[in-house]
Amino acid sequence: MPPGSSRSPENRARLPRVKVDFFLPTADAESAAGHAARARDLGFDAVLSAETNHDPFLALAIAATAVPGLEYGTAIAVAFARSPMVTAMTAWDLARLTGGRFLLGLGTQVRAHVTRRFSMEWSAPAPRLRDYVLAVRAIWEAWQHGTPLRFEGRFYRHTLMTPFFDPGPLTHPPPPIYIAGVGPHMARVAGEVCDGLHVHPFHTVRYLDEVIRPNVARGAQAAGRPAGEVALATAVMVVTGHSEAEMERRRAAVARQIAFYASTPSYHPVLDLHGWQVGPELTRMSVRGEWEAMAELVDDAMIDAVAVTAPIDELGDAICRRYGDRLTHVGLYSLADDLGLTDDEWRTVVATLAAG
């Protein structure tokens, strides 16, 4: 068991077994119900949506209505694209719709998208997201318990709530809030004010142990609570297949994905920890649009550290060996057909991951 494990004996009773997450291949409303039904059939615990080219909340509302009983969540919705009040209201409605089975996952995106795509304000992302989470919780407190709404933070201010605009209390606790993060600052925010952290798929176990988990613990300590109360979730990149040829194709795809993420300066701390000095060049190549050539800078050591490599019939066990008891939620980075798993193979992988 890793030192400081959040599921060590003294904390094990507070955290459930590992939950296995199904990531919607796309959050379009038309296919959401079908994907959720398949996730239920394969044994997944939760269906998660990401904010890319569709609204992440609408698909979940449709899926949860058609396929009740699963957990639903965003992984992630872009926080700074919405006011805390708008996010609080949407999450409240989804929590009510799912009978308390909704998880609000928030992320910051990067400056260019927030300012140029969403035309919203950007500054100090970690402190701003911390303020955002506290604002959402203050709004929920007003709705759940009738507490006067008097939130005045560094970035957000909410001081008006009248009965006409109050949706009323839930019959269950408000939703848990997870945030997404790569670096130590977001990990500390998660430890201090959140229920969990969505660890970015571009990570290594060493990075988890030396950067993410210690900083989650520091944030939790600052808040006066055990680090074991903060869940860790991630989607695992995998290299898998039924044959060497299939695995090589998947390995090349993973190399391209690693190159894409590693070209973003905010993800360079993962590279720096391992002494991989390709980040600046990948950034320059991305600016020039050299997307295919970028993968040539990703060597086998990087792929093996970031992704789990195993044949399909060994994949679940390989992921369990890689992560041990570090995670409380786990999924596979891609559920697209290019992974090549049959439904029965998915059931085996999901059951293995759930058993830990």
Amino acid 1: pLDDT: 31
Residue carrying the six token digits 């093996």: 304
11-48 burial by CB neighbour count: b if 16+ within 10 A, else e? Answer: eeeebeebbbbbbbeebbeebbbebbebbbebbbbbbb
Output the CA torsion sign for 66, 67, 69, 71. Answer: negative
Share of the chain above pLDDT 70, in %: 94
Amino acid 16: pLDDT: 52
Residues 6+ away with beta carbon under 8 Å from 9? none
pTM across the whole model: 0.92
Q: Which helix (H) or strand (E) element contains residue 187? A: helix 184-193
Mean per-residue pLDDT of the chain: 93
Q: What is the distance between the alpha carbons of residues 45 and 31, in angstroms, rounded to a whole number?
A: 19
Give me the mean pLDDT over the 254-265 stretch. Answer: 94
Instruction: Categorize the per-residue pLDDT at 338 as very low, low, confident or very high, splitting at 50, 70 and 90.
Output: low
For 17, how many CA atoms within 13 A lie in the half-sphere containing its CB? 11
Residue 7: is its pLDDT beyond 50? Answer: no
SS3 of 47, please? strand
Share of the chain above pLDDT 90, in %: 90
Q: What does R_g of the chain's alpha carbons equal in angstroms?
A: 20
Better-scored residue on pLDDT, 99 or 4: 99
SS3 of 67, please? coil
Sequence length of the chain is 356
Location of each CATH 3.20.20.30 domain in the chain: 9-244+309-355
Q: What is the distance between the alpha carbons of residues 202 and 20, in angstroms, rounded to a whole number?
A: 19
Is the separation of the CB atoms in 251 and 304 below 8 Å? no
Amino acid 356: pLDDT: 80
List the structure tokens of 274: 């391992």
CB-count burial class (<10 Å; 0-12, 13-18, 19+) for 229: middle
Q: What is the distance between the alpha carbons of residues 303 and 138, in angstroms, rounded to a whole number?
A: 42
Distances (CA, A) of 81 to 84, 285, 320: 10, 28, 36
Residue 73: is its pLDDT beyond 50? Answer: yes
**End-to-end Cα spacing for the chain:** 13
CB-count burial class (<10 Å; 0-12, 13-18, 19+) for 240: buried
Give me the mean pLDDT over the 120-147 stretch. Answer: 97
Instruction: Categorize the per-residue pLDDT at 340 as very low, low, confident or very high, splitting at 50, 70 and 90.
Output: confident
Provide the pairing of β-strand 238-239 with 71-74.
unpaired
Is the separation of the CB atoms in 286 and 292 below 8 Å? no
Residue 11: is its pLDDT beyond 60? Answer: no
Q: What is the distance between the alpha carbons of residues 183 and 273, in angstroms, rounded to a whole number?
A: 11
Q: Tens of pLDDT along 300-337?
A: 999 999 999 999 999 999 999 999 999 999 999 974 45
Give me the mean pLDDT over the 117-136 stretch. Answer: 97
Q: Tens of pLDDT along 200-235?
A: 999 999 999 999 999 999 999 999 999 999 999 999
CATH superfamily for 9-244+309-355 is Luciferase-like domain (3.20.20.30)
Our measurement of the distance from residue 219's CA atom to the centroid of its chain's CA atoms, rounded to an integer in Å, reads 18
Our measurement of the distance from residue 355's CA atom to the centroid of its chain's CA atoms, rounded to an integer in Å, reads 21
Is the separation of the CB atoms in 241 and 231 below 8 Å? no
